[in-house]
Amino acid sequence: MKKRPSVNVLGGILEECSRTPLTGFFRDGHCNTCAEDSGSHTVCAVMTAEFLAYSKYVGNDLSTPRPEFNFAGLKEGDHWCLCAARFLQAHDEGCAPKVDLAATHQDALDIVPMKVLKAHKLDRDS
């Protein structure tokens, strides 16, 4: 699997999203992507209780620990590389989490318009 260039939506070097918990399609702490990443795990989002409940409701339980996958479960405040389409769906439903633009891969823009990402940006991304 060949990683696409590590460039963020702002045009800079893709910053780390999270090492604790370890996130990313490649489990390298970054929202890197490649052709095999059919879910486009490119949006670095900060989990909220509302989003975690929504995600579970629509069939992707991110909060329940899954030790068999070495996954402790996410909690409010954790940073995680979300699938771009799931983020857009949450935005459309009014429960999208905040986004770290510097840690969100430019390929997210293939699915999520920049204005939507900016509407949910973390304050540090001003």
| Helix or strand (DSSP H, E) at 80 | strand 79-83
Task: Show the CA angle centred on residue 38, arms to residues 35 and 42, nearest 5°.
Answer: 85
| Helix or strand (DSSP H, E) at 21 | none
How confident is the model over 60-83, as pLDDT tens digits? Answer: 999 999 989 888 999 999 999 999
- The sheet carrying 98-99 orders its strands as 79-83, 41-46, 98-99
Statement: residue 87 has pLDDT above 80: yes
* Sign (positive or negative) of CA dihedral 87, 88, 94, 97: positive
More confident residue, 1 or 117: 117
More confident residue, 55 or 71: 55
